[in-house]
Amino acid sequence: MTSGADLDARAALPERSGAGLATYAVLVVITAAAWAHVVWTAWTDDMAGMDMVLPLGLSDAMGYVAGWGIMMTAMMLPSALPMIALYAATQRGRTPAPGLSVVLFTLVYLGVWAASGVPIYLANVAWSHLSIGPRAAALAVVLVAAGLFQVTPLKRACLRHCRSPIGFLLGHWRAGWRGGLVLGWTHAAYCLGCCWALMVVLVAAGSMGLAWVLLVAVVVAAEKILPRGEWIARAAGIALVLLGVAVALRPGLALILRGVNATM
């Protein structure tokens, strides 16, 4: 049975205006600024992409999560552009302040990804205290597990929502600024469910080095935007499993992947 909210959403979706293009322009600027920060940090930080023991403390956690949030903005916002721009197009004339709903949608989406940096930070602290042997074994497990996740029904379900902005809005429509909060949270949850394994690989295998950031960002965007993104996800999963097996057989590869010049 079709609800009144769904009917309102269907009526609004075709109403494309300058709102969508303006939203695209603003988000592209934000994305470019985030990428500039990521690249600048990688070039100026001698420890970027290197193994080091991370301290456990509130100030260190806040700095890590802030940096993670900027990196997630750079990596995840490009693939979210179609969703946010379409949502902006539906807001024309619907509320006294249509821009507020779009801003809330975007802030909640990015906020959820920034908050994911908290467990990532804690895991990274524990990871940094492992010796070389256990770390290589753990990395092999992470790669294989992430690769297997890429072909699971949960991955396909989350990716399907991320790849279909119209379908997502029709299925989860909420009006007003509260709707912007709910939709931003819901979309972020699907997006996190789709990409969390790749982010774990980013930290475990690449120590968040620039090359790995670019690689994972390209895979995420390809999965969500390009035709047959489901097959791209599966291909990435197969590659991760094979890489994990290679690390299990040759533990020295773990050091190469993380950019550490050392020998076993």
Q: Where are the domains positioned within the chain?
A: 4-257
- Per mean pLDDT, which range of 75-79, 96-100, 120-124, 151-155 is the poorest? 96-100
Backbone phi, psi, residue 244, to 5°: -65, -40
Higher pLDDT, residue 188 or 123:
188
User: Given this model, what pLDDT does residue 261 score?
Assistant: 42
**pTM score of the predicted model:** 0.84
**Residue 229 CB neighbour total at 10 angstroms:** 19
Q: What is the mean pLDDT of residues 104-123?
A: 94
Average pLDDT of the chain is: 84
What pLDDT was estimated at residue 96? 60
Question: What is the C-alpha to C-alpha distance for residues 23 and 99, in angstroms, rounded to an integer?
Answer: 9
* CA nearest neighbour of 141 among 233, 241, 44, 228: 241
Q: Which of 243, 54, 236, 64 is nearest to 151 (CA)?
A: 236
Strands (DSSP E) found in 59-184: none
Least confident of 43-52, 76-85, 114-123: 43-52
What distance in Å separates the CA atoms of residue 156 and residue 190, rounded to the nearest whole number? 10
Pairwise CA distance, residues 186 & 169, whole Å: 10
pLDDT, residue 90, reads 82
> What is the sign of the dihedral through the CA atoms of 132, 211, 161 and 33?
positive
Sign of CA dihedral 56, 212, 51, 199: positive
Segment 189-213 shows an average pLDDT of 90
User: What value does the mean pLDDT take over residues 241-263?
Assistant: 81
Q: What is the pLDDT of residues 8-61, one digit of tens each?
A: 444 444 444 566 677 788 889 999 999 999 999 888 765 455 556 677 788 888
